[in-house]
């Protein structure tokens, strides 16, 4: 199918590569045009506006930083809304608010287009390997239409019904659980460290028994590396996601005290100048709060 791709950050570029590799003709757009070049070298066409990336597409994937960026690409000048053909599908892969997903679904439906939410779990390494997990929700026919894209991008797709926002809430819930895990590990490791316990051995115990799961392997390794790893997911993005989870929870009237603690920890991380570090910098915040340098 003819595909457009908008938003070529680390995750977006890797996903676009997978779509190209699966044989779909691809037109790409990125605000900073230079980021599109490597894909052009692989055969993608470069568009100068979101509209241009949408005009002939059967589906357009967006992978952007936040609600504002997505609103801009859809509703702004030379945006998707005026250009996407009737019946074509906007596949929203960004981690955005449930409210934004509902706004987009309404606008696309009113324009005779279709919208599905398709946020993904996985860091850029997983995206390059086609190992993402895709969370999908939207009208049945549209879900069927984008199946080839989902298989190009991910190893498995999980469906959550006809309301696109459901996929976004699932994604926010999952990211909340990751944030909670990182903060809990940060506290436990700090306790171990200040009690004279070998933290590496403690981590090995956890990840070879109770918590022998991909997320624990990845994040304990990053925590033990001291939060200085090349960030593939920054504290600033972590804050954004837990803020969106709390907003969805407020709408649904659900108190989430652990989410509040994680949010406070991220705010403190940003206040200390750690916003652009990997989110495991929460380990450093916990250590500093315990008087460690």
Contacting its own copies (CB under 8 A), which of 135, 146, 147, 277? 135
Residue 240 among the catalytic residues: no
Secondary structure class of 120 (helix, strand, coil): strand
Closer of 55 and 240 to its own copies (Cβ): 240
What is the smallest separation between the CB atom of 153 and its own copies, expressed in angstroms?
A: 14
Q: How far apart are CA 162 and CA 139, in angstroms?
A: 5
CB atoms inside a 10 Å sphere around CB 275: 18
What is the smallest separation between the CB atom of 157 and its own copies, expressed in angstroms?
A: 10
Q: How far apart are CA 185 and CA 160, in angstroms?
A: 30
Closer of 87 and 198 to its own copies (Cβ): 198
Any idea how long the chain is? 293
Closer of 68 and 205 to its own copies (Cβ): 205
133 binds its own copies (CB under 8 A): yes
Helix (H) or strand (E) holding 214: helix 214-224
Closer of 63 and 246 to its own copies (Cβ): 246
Contacting its own copies (CB under 8 A), which of 83, 178, 222, 279? 178
Residue ranges in 97-126 that form contacts with its own copies under rule CB under 8 A? 98, 121
* DSSP conformational letter for 163: -
Residue ranges in 218-277 that form contacts with its own copies under rule CB under 8 A? 239, 243, 245, 248-250, 252-261, 263-265, 267-268, 270-273
48 binds its own copies (CB under 8 A): no
Residue ranges in 11-40 that form contacts with its own copies under rule CB under 8 A? none
Contacting its own copies (CB under 8 A), which of 5, 115, 176, 233? 176
163 binds its own copies (CB under 8 A): yes
Beta bridge partners of 91: 61, 116
* DSSP conformational letter for 197: -
219: Cα within 13 Å, side-chain hemisphere: 28
Looking at 131, 171, 194, 240, which residue is catalytic?
A: 171
* CA proximity to 204, closest of 192, 290, 195: 192
Is beta strand 120-121 parallel, antiparallel or unpaired with respect to 132-136? antiparallel
Beta bridge partners of 157: 134
CB atoms inside a 10 Å sphere around CB 203: 22
Strands lying side by side in the sheet with 114-117: 45-46, 26-29, 3-6, 59-62, 89-92, 114-117
Contacting its own copies (CB under 8 A), which of 32, 86, 209, 230? 209
293 binds its own copies (CB under 8 A): no
> Binding string to its own copies for residues 51 to 90, with x set by CB under 8 A, is what?
----------------------------------------
Is beta strand 26-29 parallel, antiparallel or unpaired with respect to 3-6? parallel
What is the smallest separation between the CB atom of 51 and its own copies, expressed in angstroms?
A: 28
Closer of 17 and 183 to its own copies (Cβ): 183
128 binds its own copies (CB under 8 A): no
Count residues binding its own copies (CB under 8 A). 77
- Token pair for residue 122? 């996985």
Query: Active-site residue numbers?
Result: 171
């Amino acid at each position: 199918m003819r595909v457009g791709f908008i938003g070529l950050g680390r995750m977006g570029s890797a996903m676009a590569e997978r779509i190209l590799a699966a044989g779909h003709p691809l037109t790409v757009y990125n605000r900073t045009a230079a980021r599109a070049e490597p894909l052009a070298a692989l055969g993608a066409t470069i568009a100068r506006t979101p509209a241009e990336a949408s005009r002939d597409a059967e589906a357009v994937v967006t992978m952007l930083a936040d609600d504002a960026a997505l609103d801009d690409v859809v509703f702004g000048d030379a945006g998707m809304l005026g250009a996407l053909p009737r019946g074509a599908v906007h596949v929203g892969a960004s981690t955005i608010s449930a409210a934004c997903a509902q706004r987009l679904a309404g606008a696309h439906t009113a324009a005779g287009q279709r919208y599905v939410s398709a946020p993904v779990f996985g860091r850029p390494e997983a995206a390059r390997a086609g190992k993402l997990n895709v969370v999908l929700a939207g009208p049945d026919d549209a879900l069927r239409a984008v199946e080839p894209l989902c298989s190009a991008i991910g190893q498995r797709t999980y469906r959550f019904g006809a309301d696109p926002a459901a996929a976004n809430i699932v994604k926010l819930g999952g990211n909340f659980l990751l944030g909670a895990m990182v903060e809990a590990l940060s506290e436990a490791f700090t306790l171990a460290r200040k009690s004279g316990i070998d933290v590496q051995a403690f981590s090995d115990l956890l990840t070879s028994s109770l918590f022998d799961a991909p997320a624990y392997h990845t994040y304990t390794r990053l925590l033990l590396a001291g939060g200085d790893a090349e960030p593939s997911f920054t504290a600033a993005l972590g804050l954004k996601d837990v803020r969106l989870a709390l907003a969805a929870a407020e709408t649904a009237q659900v108190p989430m005290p652990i989410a509040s603690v994680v949010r406070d920890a991220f705010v403190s991380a940003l206040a200390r100048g750690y916003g652009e570090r990997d989110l495991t910098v929460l380990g450093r915040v916990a250590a500093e709060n315990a008087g460690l340098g």
